[in-house]
């Protein structure tokens, strides 16, 4: 599964430390997936990498494990990589999704980012340095999203419960009566 507001993204707090950064790499092309994996070998930080060769395999991995970064091909054997972003949104989880594609266009990148993707990389421009830069930014983004979700949860909690007694306040009481 991706990170939910109740889970602290440990890998985002200490970049480059011993805490594993869980990454999912999903690409239906074995050669491209291996190229991404080789780039990740140069990433300075402890990483746990899982692989998927289809959209179904990626969704299965997301439902079982917590990932902070998902690197996914735009076209996964007839399925759209953006379906993963939609799935994460529907389940209330978030993580940095990085789309990779062999057919880059500005319009495609803009549409992907508007759809909730953290970043978009052309396979032609993929390098260890570029990927490391995007991963660092993605981890910071995931940490910010977690902090925002945590603050939102605390604010919601404070607005509905008395801070001294932890009892429902008047607004929540009347809301539940209706």
Q: Identify the CATH number of the domain in which residue 94 sits.
A: 3.40.50.2300
In a domain, 104, yes or no: yes
What's the rounded mean pLDDT across residues 133-162?
85
Q: How far apart are CA 19 and CA 22, in angstroms?
A: 9
Alpha helices in 42-169 (DSSP H): 55-64, 82-91, 106-114, 128-160
In a domain, 156, yes or no: no
In a domain, 4, yes or no: no
Q: How far apart are CA 64 and CA 42, in angstroms?
A: 26
Q: How far apart are CA 21 and CA 1, in angstroms?
A: 14
What's the rounded mean pLDDT across residues 72-84?
76
Q: How many CB atoms lie within 10 A of CB 68?
A: 28
What's the rounded mean pLDDT across residues 118-127?
87
Q: Per the structure, how many domains does the chain have?
A: 1
Range of the domain at 61: 10-148
Task: Please report which confidence band the pLDDT of residue 71 belongs to, taking 50, 70 and 90 as the band edges.
Answer: very high
Higher-pLDDT residue of 92, 22: 22
**Could you report the per-residue pLDDT of 32-68, keeping only the tens digit for each?**
989 999 998 888 776 788 998 888 888 888 888 888 8
């Amino acid at each position: 599964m991706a990170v939910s507001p109740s889970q602290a993204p440990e890998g985002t707090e200490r970049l480059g430390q011993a805490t594993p950064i869980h990454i999912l790499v999903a690409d239906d092309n074995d050669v491209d997936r291996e190229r991404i994996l080789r780039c990740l070998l140069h990433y300075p930080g402890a990483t746990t990498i899982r692989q998927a060769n289809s959209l179904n395999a990626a969704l299965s991995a997301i439902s079982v494990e917590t990932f902070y970064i998902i690197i996914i091909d735009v076209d996964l054997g007839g399925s759209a990589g953006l379906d993963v972003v939609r799935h994460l949104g529907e389940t209330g989880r978030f993580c940095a999704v990085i789309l990779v594609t062999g057919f880059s266009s500005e319009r495609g990148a803009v549409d992907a980012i508007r759809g909730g993707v953290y970043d978009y990389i052309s396979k032609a421009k993929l390098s260890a340095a570029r990927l490391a830069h995007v991963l660092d930014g993605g981890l910071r983004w995931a940490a910010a999203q977690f902090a925002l979700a945590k603050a939102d949860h605390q604010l919601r909690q404070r607005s509905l419960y008395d801070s001294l007694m932890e009892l429902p306040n008047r607004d929540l009481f009347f809301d539940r009566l209706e």
